[in-house]
A and B are shown apart, each in its own frame.
Chain A
Protein backbone atom coordinates (compact mmCIF):
# COMPACT_ATOMS: atom_id res chain seq x y z
CA UNK A 1 0.00 0.00 0.00
CA UNK A 2 1.72 3.07 -1.18
CA UNK A 3 1.39 6.64 -0.04
CA UNK A 4 -0.81 7.47 -3.01
CA UNK A 5 -3.29 4.77 -2.06
CA UNK A 6 -3.47 6.02 1.51
CA UNK A 7 -4.04 9.58 0.34
CA UNK A 8 -6.75 8.49 -2.06
CA UNK A 9 -8.51 6.45 0.61
CA UNK A 10 -8.34 9.32 3.08
CA UNK A 11 -9.80 11.61 0.43
CA UNK A 12 -12.63 9.12 -0.05
CA UNK A 13 -13.43 9.02 3.67
CA UNK A 14 -13.29 12.80 3.95
CA UNK A 15 -15.61 13.18 0.97
CA UNK A 16 -18.03 10.67 2.49
CA UNK A 17 -18.10 12.44 5.84
CA UNK A 18 -18.58 15.78 4.12
CA UNK A 19 -21.49 14.32 2.16
CA UNK A 20 -23.18 13.32 5.39
CA UNK A 21 -22.48 16.46 7.35
CA UNK A 22 -23.07 19.22 4.88
CA UNK A 23 -26.12 21.37 5.29
CA UNK A 24 -27.60 21.67 1.86
CA UNK A 25 -28.94 18.75 -0.15
CA UNK A 26 -27.33 19.92 -3.35
CA UNK A 27 -23.88 19.91 -1.76
CA UNK A 28 -24.63 16.44 -0.48
CA UNK A 29 -25.33 15.17 -3.96
CA UNK A 30 -22.13 16.78 -5.22
CA UNK A 31 -20.24 15.18 -2.36
CA UNK A 32 -21.61 11.82 -3.46
CA UNK A 33 -20.32 12.45 -6.97
CA UNK A 34 -16.94 13.40 -5.54
CA UNK A 35 -16.77 10.17 -3.52
CA UNK A 36 -17.62 8.25 -6.69
CA UNK A 37 -14.81 9.98 -8.57
CA UNK A 38 -12.24 9.12 -5.91
CA UNK A 39 -13.42 5.52 -5.90
CA UNK A 40 -13.02 5.44 -9.67
CA UNK A 41 -9.37 6.46 -9.34
CA UNK A 42 -8.80 3.83 -6.67
CA UNK A 43 -10.35 1.21 -8.92
CA UNK A 44 -8.06 2.18 -11.79
CA UNK A 45 -5.12 1.63 -9.49
CA UNK A 46 -6.47 -1.81 -8.58
CA UNK A 47 -6.35 -3.04 -12.20
CA UNK A 48 -10.07 -2.82 -12.85
CA UNK A 49 -10.55 -0.48 -15.81
CA UNK A 50 -13.97 -1.83 -16.86
CA UNK A 51 -15.54 -1.42 -13.46
CA UNK A 52 -13.93 1.99 -13.04
CA UNK A 53 -15.31 3.32 -16.30
CA UNK A 54 -18.76 1.96 -15.45
CA UNK A 55 -18.68 3.51 -12.00
CA UNK A 56 -17.61 6.85 -13.43
CA UNK A 57 -20.22 7.03 -16.14
CA UNK A 58 -23.13 5.56 -14.23
CA UNK A 59 -22.64 6.57 -10.63
CA UNK A 60 -20.90 9.89 -11.00
CA UNK A 61 -23.00 10.81 -13.99
CA UNK A 62 -26.41 9.18 -14.01
CA UNK A 63 -27.15 8.89 -10.31
CA UNK A 64 -25.99 12.43 -9.63
CA UNK A 65 -28.27 13.61 -12.42
CA UNK A 66 -31.19 11.70 -10.86
CA UNK A 67 -30.47 13.20 -7.45
CA UNK A 68 -30.09 16.74 -8.68
CA UNK A 69 -33.28 16.55 -10.72
CA UNK A 70 -35.17 15.13 -7.72
CA UNK A 71 -33.80 17.83 -5.44
CA UNK A 72 -34.70 20.59 -7.85
CA UNK A 73 -38.25 19.29 -8.21
CA UNK A 74 -38.74 19.62 -4.47
CA UNK A 75 -39.62 23.00 -3.02
CA UNK A 76 -36.83 24.33 -0.82
CA UNK A 77 -37.47 25.09 2.81
CA UNK A 78 -38.16 28.61 3.93
CA UNK A 79 -35.35 30.56 5.52
CA UNK A 80 -36.80 30.26 9.00
CA UNK A 81 -36.95 26.49 8.72
CA UNK A 82 -33.36 26.31 7.50
CA UNK A 83 -32.10 28.39 10.42
CA UNK A 84 -34.00 26.28 12.91
CA UNK A 85 -32.80 23.00 11.44
CA UNK A 86 -29.17 24.04 11.29
CA UNK A 87 -29.08 25.00 14.94
CA UNK A 88 -29.51 21.50 16.26
CA UNK A 89 -27.75 20.01 13.26
CA UNK A 90 -24.25 20.39 14.63
CA UNK A 91 -25.37 18.78 17.87
CA UNK A 92 -26.70 15.76 16.03
CA UNK A 93 -23.98 15.32 13.51
CA UNK A 94 -20.76 15.84 15.41
CA UNK A 95 -20.91 12.32 16.69
CA UNK A 96 -19.89 11.12 13.26
CA UNK A 97 -16.23 12.18 13.09
CA UNK A 98 -15.85 11.14 16.72
CA UNK A 99 -17.21 7.64 16.00
CA UNK A 100 -15.01 7.29 12.95
CA UNK A 101 -11.87 8.19 14.85
CA UNK A 102 -12.68 5.86 17.72
CA UNK A 103 -13.40 2.94 15.38
CA UNK A 104 -10.21 3.66 13.51
CA UNK A 105 -8.14 3.43 16.67
CA UNK A 106 -9.86 0.22 17.75
CA UNK A 107 -9.27 -1.31 14.34
CA UNK A 108 -5.56 -0.58 14.38
CA UNK A 109 -5.11 -2.54 17.57
CA UNK A 110 -7.24 -5.47 16.43
CA UNK A 111 -5.23 -8.27 14.92
CA UNK A 112 -7.44 -10.26 12.61
CA UNK A 113 -6.13 -13.57 11.41
CA UNK A 114 -5.88 -14.21 7.72
CA UNK A 115 -8.41 -16.78 6.56
CA UNK A 116 -7.13 -19.96 4.99
CA UNK A 117 -7.79 -20.09 1.29
CA UNK A 118 -6.46 -23.03 -0.61
CA UNK A 119 -7.99 -22.47 -4.01
CA UNK A 120 -5.76 -22.73 -7.04
CA UNK A 121 -5.29 -19.64 -9.13
CA UNK A 122 -7.03 -20.41 -12.39
CA UNK A 123 -6.39 -18.73 -15.69
CA UNK A 124 -9.32 -16.48 -16.42
CA UNK A 125 -9.89 -14.07 -19.24
CA UNK A 126 -10.61 -10.44 -18.83
CA UNK A 127 -13.86 -9.15 -17.43
CA UNK A 128 -15.62 -9.02 -20.75
CA UNK A 129 -15.11 -12.78 -21.23
CA UNK A 130 -16.24 -13.59 -17.73
CA UNK A 131 -19.37 -11.49 -17.98
CA UNK A 132 -20.52 -12.73 -21.35
CA UNK A 133 -19.52 -16.35 -21.17
CA UNK A 134 -19.78 -17.66 -17.68
CA UNK A 135 -22.24 -15.28 -16.07
CA UNK A 136 -24.99 -15.15 -18.65
CA UNK A 137 -27.65 -15.66 -16.03
CA UNK A 138 -26.74 -12.33 -14.48
CA UNK A 139 -27.27 -10.65 -17.84
CA UNK A 140 -30.82 -11.93 -18.03
CA UNK A 141 -31.35 -10.79 -14.47
CA UNK A 142 -30.15 -7.34 -15.43
CA UNK A 143 -32.57 -7.26 -18.36
CA UNK A 144 -35.42 -8.16 -16.02
CA UNK A 145 -34.40 -5.44 -13.54
CA UNK A 146 -34.18 -2.85 -16.30
CA UNK A 147 -37.66 -3.80 -17.55
CA UNK A 148 -39.01 -3.48 -14.01
CA UNK A 149 -37.27 -0.12 -13.68
CA UNK A 150 -38.89 1.15 -16.86
CA UNK A 151 -42.32 0.20 -15.54
CA UNK A 152 -41.52 1.78 -12.20
CA UNK A 153 -40.49 5.06 -13.73
CA UNK A 154 -43.58 5.12 -15.95
CA UNK A 155 -45.92 4.38 -13.06
CA UNK A 156 -44.33 6.53 -10.36
CA UNK A 157 -43.37 9.63 -12.27
CA UNK A 158 -46.72 10.08 -13.94
CA UNK A 159 -48.94 12.79 -12.53
CA UNK A 160 -52.09 11.22 -11.13
CA UNK A 161 -55.31 12.56 -12.54
CA UNK A 162 -57.31 14.12 -9.75
CA UNK A 163 -60.24 11.81 -9.01
Chain B
Protein backbone atom coordinates (compact mmCIF):
# COMPACT_ATOMS: atom_id res chain seq x y z
CA UNK B 1 0.00 0.00 0.00
CA UNK B 2 1.62 3.19 -1.06
CA UNK B 3 1.67 6.33 0.99
CA UNK B 4 -0.71 8.24 -1.27
CA UNK B 5 -3.35 5.59 -0.72
CA UNK B 6 -2.88 5.82 3.03
CA UNK B 7 -3.54 9.56 2.80
CA UNK B 8 -6.78 8.82 0.99
CA UNK B 9 -7.76 6.34 3.64
CA UNK B 10 -7.18 8.72 6.51
CA UNK B 11 -9.13 11.39 4.68
CA UNK B 12 -12.15 9.14 4.30
CA UNK B 13 -11.77 7.70 7.80
CA UNK B 14 -11.97 11.22 9.22
CA UNK B 15 -15.50 11.68 7.90
CA UNK B 16 -16.58 8.11 8.56
CA UNK B 17 -15.68 8.46 12.24
CA UNK B 18 -17.98 11.48 12.42
CA UNK B 19 -20.89 9.44 11.09
CA UNK B 20 -20.05 6.79 13.69
CA UNK B 21 -20.25 9.38 16.42
CA UNK B 22 -23.59 10.64 15.10
CA UNK B 23 -24.96 7.09 15.10
CA UNK B 24 -23.76 6.24 18.61
CA UNK B 25 -25.02 9.54 19.95
CA UNK B 26 -28.41 8.86 18.43
CA UNK B 27 -28.67 5.49 20.16
CA UNK B 28 -27.53 6.79 23.54
CA UNK B 29 -29.62 9.95 23.78
CA UNK B 30 -32.90 9.15 22.14
CA UNK B 31 -36.08 8.27 23.94
CA UNK B 32 -37.94 6.84 21.01
CA UNK B 33 -37.43 3.27 19.86
CA UNK B 34 -37.58 3.98 16.15
CA UNK B 35 -34.75 6.46 16.48
CA UNK B 36 -32.61 3.75 18.03
CA UNK B 37 -33.02 1.72 14.86
CA UNK B 38 -32.26 4.79 12.74
CA UNK B 39 -29.04 5.19 14.70
CA UNK B 40 -28.13 1.56 14.01
CA UNK B 41 -28.79 2.13 10.33
CA UNK B 42 -26.45 5.13 10.30
CA UNK B 43 -23.72 3.03 11.88
CA UNK B 44 -24.24 0.34 9.26
CA UNK B 45 -23.88 2.90 6.45
CA UNK B 46 -20.65 4.14 7.95
CA UNK B 47 -19.25 0.62 8.14
CA UNK B 48 -20.29 -0.06 4.55
CA UNK B 49 -18.35 2.95 3.37
CA UNK B 50 -15.37 1.92 5.51
CA UNK B 51 -15.24 -1.51 3.86
CA UNK B 52 -15.42 -0.01 0.37
CA UNK B 53 -12.68 2.47 1.16
CA UNK B 54 -10.46 -0.29 2.56
CA UNK B 55 -11.01 -2.27 -0.59
CA UNK B 56 -10.30 0.71 -2.82
CA UNK B 57 -7.10 1.58 -1.06
CA UNK B 58 -5.65 -1.94 -1.13
CA UNK B 59 -6.73 -2.69 -4.69
CA UNK B 60 -9.25 -5.33 -3.64
CA UNK B 61 -12.35 -3.55 -4.79
CA UNK B 62 -14.10 -6.67 -6.11
CA UNK B 63 -13.77 -8.44 -2.76
CA UNK B 64 -15.03 -5.36 -0.94
CA UNK B 65 -18.02 -5.06 -3.24
CA UNK B 66 -19.09 -8.66 -2.69
CA UNK B 67 -18.73 -8.22 1.06
CA UNK B 68 -20.86 -5.07 0.93
CA UNK B 69 -23.58 -6.74 -1.13
CA UNK B 70 -23.86 -9.59 1.36
CA UNK B 71 -23.78 -7.12 4.24
CA UNK B 72 -26.61 -5.02 2.81
CA UNK B 73 -28.87 -8.03 2.34
CA UNK B 74 -28.30 -9.25 5.88
CA UNK B 75 -28.87 -5.80 7.38
CA UNK B 76 -32.17 -5.44 5.53
CA UNK B 77 -33.43 -8.62 7.15
CA UNK B 78 -32.26 -7.49 10.61
CA UNK B 79 -34.01 -4.15 10.18
CA UNK B 80 -37.21 -5.82 9.05
CA UNK B 81 -37.22 -8.05 12.15
CA UNK B 82 -36.47 -5.04 14.35
CA UNK B 83 -39.38 -3.14 12.79
CA UNK B 84 -41.60 -6.15 13.48
CA UNK B 85 -40.55 -6.22 17.13
CA UNK B 86 -41.20 -2.47 17.44
CA UNK B 87 -44.67 -2.83 15.95
CA UNK B 88 -45.49 -5.61 18.39
CA UNK B 89 -44.20 -3.51 21.31
CA UNK B 90 -46.37 -0.64 20.11
CA UNK B 91 -49.42 -2.88 20.01
CA UNK B 92 -48.82 -3.77 23.66
CA UNK B 93 -47.86 -0.41 25.05
CA UNK B 94 -49.68 2.06 22.81
CA UNK B 95 -46.55 4.21 22.85
CA UNK B 96 -42.96 4.05 21.70
CA UNK B 97 -41.25 5.80 24.56
CA UNK B 98 -38.27 3.84 25.73
CA UNK B 99 -39.01 4.90 29.28
CA UNK B 100 -41.91 2.47 29.16
CA UNK B 101 -39.51 -0.45 28.68
CA UNK B 102 -38.56 -0.68 32.31
CA UNK B 103 -40.23 -3.87 33.37
CA UNK B 104 -37.11 -5.97 33.42
CA UNK B 105 -34.96 -4.86 36.30
CA UNK B 106 -32.12 -6.37 38.25
Contact = CB atoms under 8 A, between A and B. Distances in A.
Q: Is the interface of A mostly helix, strand, loop or mixed?
A: helix
B63 A130 contact: yes
A48 B81 contact: no
A131 to B, nearest CB: 4
Contacts of B96: 74
Given A107-B17, A114-B1, A121-B59, A157 B49 contact: no
17 contacts: A16-B19, A28-B34, A32-B42, A39-B48, A42-B49, A48-B52, A50-B69, A51-B52, A51-B65, A71-B34, A73-B87, A126-B62, A127-B65, A130-B63, A142-B70, A149-B77, A153-B81
Contact of B84 (A47, A93, A157): A157
Contacts, number: 197
B76 interface: yes
B81 A74 contact: no
B87 A43 contact: no
A39 B49 contact: yes
A20 B22 contact: yes
Could you say which interface size class chain A belongs to? 35 or more
Interface residues of B, number: 65
A20 B75 CA distance: 20
A145 B74 contact: yes
Contacts of B64: 48, 51
B98 interface: no
Contacts of B81: 149, 152-153, 156
Contact of A59 (B25, B31, B72): B72
Interface in A1-57: 1, 5-6, 9-10, 12-13, 16-17, 19-20, 25, 28-29, 32, 35-36, 39, 42-43, 46-48, 50-51, 54-55
B65 A48 contact: yes
Closest 8 CB pairs of A and B: A156-B84, A149-B77, A127-B65, A131-B66, A9-B15, A114-B6, A51-B68, A51-B65
Interface string A51-94: 10011001100110011001101110000000001000000110
